[in-house]
Amino acid sequence: MNNFTVDILTPNKVVAKNIPAENVVIPTLKGQIEVMKDHTHVVEKLETGIVTVLGGSDDADRNFFVTVGICKVLQDKITILSNTAEESHEVDLERAELALNNAEEMLAGTLSDVELSKYRRKAERAKLRIQLLKTSR
C-alpha cells in the first residue's frame, strides 16, 4: 500500500515524477528524516545525501543522490527540489572515482579556506555517489 507519491526535480530536469512510496528517507540540514504514513506537513532544507524511496511490497525501492535544496511534505505528496539529483542507475562509477581522486589530490596541497571548502564538498559528493552505487546493487 502506497502512502505517498514523490517528485524529485532540479532546475534542469524532472528526475522522477509520481513515484509511489510507503516511506521515504530524506537527508536534511537538521538530520535524516523518515516520512511515514500520516506524517505532519514539513518544509525543510535539503542536505547533500541519499534519498531512499521505499516502495513497499507493490513497488521497488529507489535511491537518489541529491545536493542542497528544499523538501516539502504536504498530505500525500513529497516534493524534493534539489540543485542536482541522479537516480542510482544514472551514476557513473568511473567518473565519481575520478572526481574523488582529483578532490583528494587537491586537498593534499595548500589551499585557501574557500578552496578547502570547495574540494571537501567535491570529495563528499563523489563519496556519496560511490556509496549510492554500492548500496543499490
Tens-digit pLDDT profile for residues 5-28 = 999 999 999 999 999 999 999 999
C-alpha span between 57 and 108 (Å, rounded) = 47
Positions of CATH 2.60.15.10 in the chain: 4-88
Predicted pLDDT at 91? 86
pLDDT band at 1 (very low <50, low <70, confident <90, very high): low
Predicted pLDDT at 59? 84
Tens-digit pLDDT profile for residues 74-117 = 988 999 999 999 998 888 889 999 999 999 999 998 889 999 99
CATH class of 4-88: mainly beta
Are 7 and 18 in contact by the 8 Å Cβ rule? The answer is yes
State the pTM of this model. 0.85
C-alpha span between 7 and 133 (Å, rounded) = 21
Positions of CATH 1.20.5 in the chain: 92-136
| Dihedral angle sign, alpha carbons of residues 120, 89, 35, 8 | positive
Predicted pLDDT at 39? 86
Predicted pLDDT at 137? 63
CATH of domain 92-136: 1.20.5
pLDDT band at 30 (very low <50, low <70, confident <90, very high): very high
C-alpha span between 74 and 35 (Å, rounded) = 11
